[in-house]
Amino acid sequence: MHLEPERHRSPSISLTPLIDVVFILLVFFMLASRFGDWKDLPVNVLPSEESTDQQDRDWLTLTVTESGQVRIGDTDYALGELAAQLDAGQTVLITGEPDAPLQAALATLDAVRAAGVEDVQLELMP
């Protein structure tokens, strides 16, 4: 009976599984990333009561209600009707009732800016 001697192979490490894992991680991070433009929402600190510079302005106060409508004085308006009530040179302060949705406040901010008003403040209460 003829038996061949056993060959001793040197151990080698295959890089194929490592390349597969790196490729999967690359695809995951590419799909999980967002390549769009980030838009910042400027948030200003409200002035203290001692400061009279901001208080001397003629503010038009818009209050966002719980139902998502905008109140100017004692009258409620829908967002579509808001542009007719605004002038481009006004200074607008947007506030909200305690249970008003934040999305409605941001939609009001967009509607005010679309009406041509550039001096807009958004008051956020804790």
- What integer pLDDT is reported at residue 24 of this predicted model? 96
Give the pairing type, strands 70-72 and 75-77.
Answer: antiparallel
pLDDT tens digits for range 97-111: 888 888 998 999 999
Domain that holds residue 73: 56-87
Average pLDDT score, the chain: 81
Specify the higher pLDDT residue, 54 or 82. 82
Quick check: is 64 in a domain?
yes
What is the number of structural domains in the chain?
1
Quick check: is 83 in a domain?
yes
Residue 26's pLDDT band, with cuts at 50, 70 and 90, is very high
Quick check: is 35 in a domain?
no
Average pLDDT for residues 7-36, to the nearest whole number? 86
Which 3 state secondary structure label does DSSP give 89? Answer: coil
Residue 125's pLDDT band, with cuts at 50, 70 and 90, is low
Tell me what percent of the residues of the chain surpass a pLDDT of 90. Answer: 16
Please answer whether residues 59 and 92 qualify as being in contact, where contact means their C-beta atoms are separated by less than 8 angstroms: yes
Q: Does position 4 have pLDDT exceeding 90, yes or no?
A: no
Quick check: is 23 in a domain?
no
Quick check: is 118 in a domain?
no
Which 3 state secondary structure label does DSSP give 106? Answer: helix
